[in-house]
Amino acid sequence: MSVSPNTGGIYFEMPRLTSVSMICWTDSQWWDGTNRWFKVNSLYGQGYMIANQVSNQTSVGHC
């Protein structure tokens, strides 16, 4: 999880299969084949995740 939609803000590596709820999306830094980042809520707080790390994606609006 990152405090900003880029790899420079990464502050926490959540355990695999941690449940998140998607809030919105934004396009920013390209990483691992995509530039789409989701703002998410989790039991560890709120932050950004690169889209290809979020499974079971739902439809959310732009941030």
Burial class for 8, CB neighbours closer than 10 Å (0-12, 13-18, 19+):
exposed
What is the reported pLDDT for 11? 83
Q: In percent, how much of the chain has pLDDT > 90?
A: 81
Q: Is 12 helix (H, G, I), strand (E, B) or coil?
A: coil
Global confidence as pTM: 0.90
Give 40-53 pLDDT, tens digit per residue.
999 999 999 999 99
